[in-house]
Amino acid sequence: MALTVLLICVGVFLGSGVWAVLGNRSSSTSFWVYSFSLAGSTLALCVAVVALIDTEAPTATLQLPIGLPWLGAHFRLDALSALFIVVVNLGSLTASLYGLGYGRHEQTPGRVLPFYPTFLAGMNLVVLADDAFTFLLAWEFMSLASWALVMAHHRIGANLKAGYIYLLMASFGTLTLLLAFGLLAGADGGYDFAAMRAATPSAGLAAAVLAMALIGAGSKAGLVPLHVWLPLAHPAAPSHVSALMSGVMTKVAVYGFVRIVFDLLGPPDWWWGGAVLVLGGVSAVMGVLYALMQHDLKRLLAYHTVENIGIIFIGLGLALCFQANEMQLAAALALTAALFHVFNHSVFKSLLFFGAGAVLGATGERDMERLGGLIHRMPLTAIAFLVGSIAISALPPFNGFVSEWLTFQAILLSPKLPQWLLKLLVPAVGAMLALSAALAAGCFVKAFGASFLGRARSEAAQNAEETDAASLTAMFLLVLVCLLAGILPGYFMDALAPVTRQLLGAQLPLQQQMQWLTIVPIATGRSSYNGLLLFAMIAVAGFLAVYVIHRWASHAVRRSAIWDCGFPDDSPAAQYSAGSFAQPIRRVYGAVVFRAREEVDMPAPGDCRPAKFHVHIRDLIWDALYAPLESVVGFVADWLSKVQFWTIRAYLTLVFSTLVGLLVVLSIWH
Amino acid sequence: MALIYDLFVQVAQLLLVLALAPLLTGYIRKIKANLLRRQGPPLLQPYRDLLKLIRKEVVLAENASWIFRVAPYLVFATTLIAASLVPTFATGLVFSSAADLIAIVALLGSARFILALAGLDVGTSFGGIGSSREMMIASLAEPAMLMIVFTLSLLAGSTQLSSVSAFMQGPDVGLRVSLGMALVALIMVAVAENARIPVDNPATHLELTMIHEAMILEYSGRHLAVIEAAASLKLLLYFSLIACLFAPWGIATAGQGVVAMAIGVASYIAKLAAGGLLLAVFETGTAKMRVFRVSDFLGAALMLGLLAALLLFVSRSV
């Protein structure tokens, strides 16, 4: 029943996509497309939440006579897919709501409206698919629809490059996933997931599938070093689509990885977890360091997605390590942490992209060096963006902290692992996680401070106007979720219990039974956290302090000019910029990671030329991995282009010799 | 009845840290002055400073936003709650299950986040320089702190401060290399987090290397008083943390009688006095380092913490 309703929702998305193409180009099309998307995702969200919470609900399957004639299209709704349906549709609900307001300013709605609901349909179908063909078809659907959305503003040169790289990486990712499913299906070609689950691949085959899944899903999710398309493509799309791509589509990629590795592939080897841990740790630290070097608000957010995907994969890697050693409870804790972070990241990343979109809409600027002082002009957006910033920096009382806290608790269980390599690896990964959390806080002080605080650095920022009501509603809906998941995490963790039970056969103790809504992942004497109590205590202490001081002491306020130690400068250029804020961190970390060089050109006294300051930053991953690949492909393409100018005789000879060659190979083979 | 008694102990602890924090600051200043053969201000001077500041009007920059006005109270409340959750004279406090050591570190992180934003709010170069350096230092100090937490909680099998403290009092502790490393790293982090010499100088204004003082340069009146109170609370918090983890002697446990509590309070004050003396001697004998040497200093703390944790991971005794 629930599955049917979800497929009907997908039908609604597809239908409104078609309608956007056929329908007239009047301004009401935008309204109706977003309204239908909103209705569809609200319905899907409700159905999925019920399916996830209701532990009695059986796994629903459905087979439709479409797709490959001998296979059909299989769909399935179990706890794992219900969770990701919730994540997808919470994101698309708020994005559609946001789009109702934001989409009105779209200059080329014809390039956005048909693809937006199609994109939503693709993401939902990936999660519901229960055979490899449907899964890959939906995956490509999702990739191509989002590619079209990235190319919506195709007249900007940078977007063309972004779209090109995205298309390449997406095709490459799908190719490796295709190979992974091919290996899983085996020689008999059992392409439905039930057959794959039943089969037990050999150790070598399983390792190959793991590698393919890591590359395929990892390139879509943004694992370093496959992340290069992400900071180019995510910011290029309209902001609500950026939110969906960064907040939700990367989670669909995580779903793909979890489905293949935890569900289809069978029991893991211990070193799988180690490999995933290393990739996760490196992504977490590199992602946040890249973000710190950025001045473009949306690109900074996209790099933070790389960081958070790293944190999620750290949790998944830990879960694999524990599962391989049959420590099911610890594995359940690590998996709960990872999945909770999946949910949390989708919430606050969408929120932050909405805020960035509101800033972009109000000022036309993404460059933080040209923003500033927006807290006065856009007070509500500022509050929403601030909550998102605190949440993503993993600070209490918001939700980002809870999932990172759970990850730390999982790390603290790892000395019981018997393998020496893991014993050495896990504390190092823990240090990387701590480092990335601390750097993220620095990065968001920079992002919020440079955009919203201080004085306006450009005319556009000076005259910005608060964004529309629909966008604000979407943002504050997410603010509420951030706060609720932060102060009442027990309910959210309990909702994840069916998923860990399905994948690992174990679950954490039910958190609702704990006293005072405290969360206790393992045992009371070991560790506990109560966000609600902390929040209440801080609120009470804060209000008491305000009351006492204003009751018995002065409450006089005098407004005056900036003091700045007696040397104020009226020019907004004199204040600290985003680049100067990041300078100490760049000096500490950037010299190694980015080969950052600072070049100061200071004219001699008497010389009237302006002084100049340049920072050179190199992207070593691009230089080491992608640039050589690019030059090889370029060389081969140049060489092959000669083929285009052959004569007809030469072509015929080529065709004939190929045919003969293939026949020879075939005859030797048999 | 027991609950009321526990609640009373919790509130007593909160009021104790609130009352003692300025005294500790005054005490350290007094000893530093004495070491330099000056008479120094009286012990109660910080209280007088706070009272004086509270009575003055606030001079607010024209473009200051609500963040600038709310930040002092948020920072104060967050630091106060964090400080009251660290056991001072008694463990097993009634609210101790609300936050373990990781959460206490994160609470301090929240306070720092808000204060760094306030430093950027008016849009001055001094505020910016302070915020940016504070976050740079935090980016090294926080992971170092978490590595110390890892070390301690691996040993004690818990991240709960009460359990760790009880473990350190117990017979299973013994002398361990990891603990020594963790103690050294914790002291280094504490020095950096509280803006003490050699990382920052709490006594100077207008020196290009300053960090914390630059960040709060635009503050005045009651806002400044609240921030100063929060800073001395944070210093006291780190003293209590080191005392309850590495010198847990005399701490009462939950539910014990009034006598045990009194012994706990007395030993706590003795520990603060000893710690303050050590800090004053250390600060007087050290020169401030350049700001970009701080990364080496804290990098060493991080490596010590990581080594301590690694040693425990590979040793069989866990």
- Which residues in chain B are contacts of A564 at CB distance < 8 A? 122, 124-126, 217-218
Q: Is the pLDDT of residue A367 over 50?
A: yes
Q: Check whether B93 has a pLDDT greater than 80.
A: no
Q: Is A429 helix (H, G, I), strand (E, B) or coil?
A: helix
Which of the 8 DSSP states describes residue A190? Answer: -
Q: For the segment A76-95, what is each residue's pLDDT rounded down to a tens digit?
A: 999 999 999 999 999 999 99
* Residue to substitute from A404, A564, A569, A592, interface B, most B β-carbons within 10 A: A564
- Cα–Cα distance, A434 to B140 (Å, whole number): 9
What's the pLDDT score for residue A478?
A: 96
Residue of A nearest to B206 (CA): A565
| Bridge-based pairing state of the strands A60-64 and B58-61 | unpaired
User: What was the pLDDT predicted at A119?
Assistant: 96
The strand pair at A612-616 and B58-61 is best described as unpaired
A505 Rama sector, left if φ>0, alpha if ψ -120 to 50, beta otherwise: left
Domain assignment present for A613: yes
% residues pLDDT > 70 (chain B): 97
Whether residue A450 and residue B120 make contact (CB cut-off 8 A), yes or no, is: yes
CA B50 to chain centre: 19
C-alpha span between A179 and A545 (Å, rounded):
62
Do strands A612-616 and A597-601 pair parallel, antiparallel, or not at all (unpaired)? antiparallel
Q: Same domain for A612 and A635?
A: no
Contacts of B128 in chain A (CB under 8 A): 449, 454, 575-576, 580-581
| Range A136-154 average pLDDT | 93
For residue A321, what are its two tokens? 């390590």
What percent of chain A clears pLDDT 70, i.e. is strictly above it?
99
Whether A90 maps to a domain, the answer reads no
User: Could you report how far apart the first and last alpha carbons of chain A are, in Å?
Assistant: 51
pLDDT for A363 equals 93
Instruction: Quote the pLDDT of residue B318.
Output: 46
Does A280 score more than 80 pLDDT? yes
Q: Given this model, what pLDDT does residue B209 score?
A: 58
Residue of B nearest to A453 (CA): B121
> Do residues A662 and A630 share a domain?
yes
Sort A328 into a burial class: Cβ within 10 Å, 0-12 / 13-18 / 19+. Answer: middle
Distance CA A563, CA A565 (A): 5
* Alpha-carbon distances, residue B12 vs A183, A374, B5, B7, B19 (angstroms): 66, 43, 10, 8, 10
Q: Say which of A375, A424, A430 has its CB closest to residue B150.
A: A430
The predicted-structure confidence for A511-542, as pLDDT tens digits, reads as follows 877 777 788 887 777 888 999 999 999 999 99
Give residue-wise pLDDT tens across range B118-161. Answer: 999 998 888 999 999 999 999 999 999 999 999 998 888 888 88
Contacts of B181 in chain A (CB under 8 A): none
Instruction: Please report which confidence band the pLDDT of residue A638 belongs to, taking 50, 70 and 90 as the band edges.
Output: very high
Residues A532 and A515: their CA atoms lie apart, in Å, by: 12
The answer to whether residue A11 sits within a structural domain is no
The Cβ-side half-sphere exposure at A572, using a 13 Å CA radius, reads: 19
CA-only gyration radius of chain A, Å: 26
- Number of CB atoms found within 10 A of residue B37's CB: 7
pLDDT at A38 over 80: yes
- Beta pairing partners, A615: A598
Query: Can you read off the two tokens belonging to residue A610?
Result: 């302006």
Cβ–Cβ under 8 Å, residues A10 and A41:
no
Residue of B76, B129, B154 with shortest CB distance to A545: B76
Is A538 within 8 Å of B77 when comparing Cβ atoms? yes
Cβ A480 vs Cβ A383: under 8 Å: no
Arithmetic mean of pLDDT, A440-452? 95
Print the domain residue range for A612: 582-618
C-alpha to C-alpha distance for B175 and B278, rounded to whole angstroms: 22
Dig out the tokens for A56 from the structure.
């009695």
Best probe of the B interface among A392, A563, A592, by most B CBs < 10 A, is A563
For residue A645, the model assigns a pLDDT of 87
Same domain, A642 and A609: no
pLDDT of residue A375: 95
Share of chain B above pLDDT 90, in %: 58
- Cβ within 8 Å, pair A584-B292: yes
Residue B175: exposed, middle, or buried by beta-carbon count in 10 A (0-12, 13-18, 19+)?
Answer: exposed
The reply to whether residue B110 touches residue A438, judged by beta carbons under 8 angstroms, is: no
| Pairing, β A60-64 against β A73-77 | antiparallel
Given a cut of 90, whether residue A275 has pLDDT beyond it is yes
- Name the DSSP class of B218: T
Measure CA B122 to chain center.
27
In this predicted structure, what is the pLDDT of residue A244?
Answer: 95
pLDDT (tens digit per residue) in A14-23: 999 998 888 7
Pairwise CB contact (< 8 Å): A395 & B67:
no
Structurally, how many domains does chain A consist of?
Answer: 2
Q: A428: part of which helix (H) or strand (E)?
A: helix A420-452
Number of neighbours of residue A595 by Cβ within 10 angstroms: 13
* CA dist., res. A383 & res. A375, Å (int): 8
- How many alpha carbons lie under 13 Å from residue A584 in its C-beta half-sphere? 28
Report the pLDDT value the prediction gives residue A24, as an integer from 0 to 100.
Answer: 62
Cα B87 to Cα A218, A519, B243, B251, B252, distances in angstroms: 45, 21, 9, 8, 9
CA distance A288 to A285: 6
| Mean residue pLDDT across chain B | 89
Burial B217-253 (b: 16+ CB within 10 A, else e): bbbbbbbbbbbbbbbbbbbbbbbbbbbbbbbbebbbe
Check pLDDT > 70 for residue A570: yes
Same domain, residue pair A633 and A652: yes
**Which of B106, B54, B115 is CA-nearest to residue B82?**
B106
Cβ within 8 Å, pair B110-A455: no
B60 pLDDT band, cuts 50/70/90, is very high
A575: nearest CB among B97, B128, B206:
B128
pLDDT in tens, A448-482: 999 999 999 999 999 999 999 999 999 999 999 99
Write out residues 14-53 of B within 8 Å (CB-CB) of A: none
Distance from CA of A369 to the nearest CA of B (A): 13
Q: Tell me which residue has tokens 């590979």.
A: B314
Say whether pLDDT at A424 is over 90.
no
Identify which of A13, A44, A35, A229 has the alpha carbon closest to the alpha carbon of residue A115: A13
Query: In Å, how far is A441's CA from the nearest CA of chain B?
Result: 7
The model's pTM is: 0.94
Measured between beta carbons, which residues in chain A are less than 8 angstroms from residue B60? 557-560
Q: Which residue has the tokens 């293949």?
A: A260
Q: Say which of A426, A445, A528 has its CB closest to residue B117.
A: A445
pLDDT for position A299: 94
B220 → chain A, closest CA residue: A557
How far apart CA A85 and CA A7 sit, in angstroms, is 12
Q: What tokens were used for B127?
A: 């505020």
Q: Among B36-40, B173-177, B301-305, whose mean pLDDT is lowest?
A: B173-177
In this model, does residue A27 exceed pLDDT 80?
Answer: no
CB A301 within 8 A of CB A287: no
Least confident span in A78-87, A271-280, B158-167: B158-167
Residues 6+ apart with CB under 8 A from A144: A170
Strand-pair category, A597-601 with A60-64: unpaired
Q: Are A152 and A111 in contact (CB under 8 A)?
A: yes
Considering only alpha carbons, which residue of chain A is nearest residue B52? A553
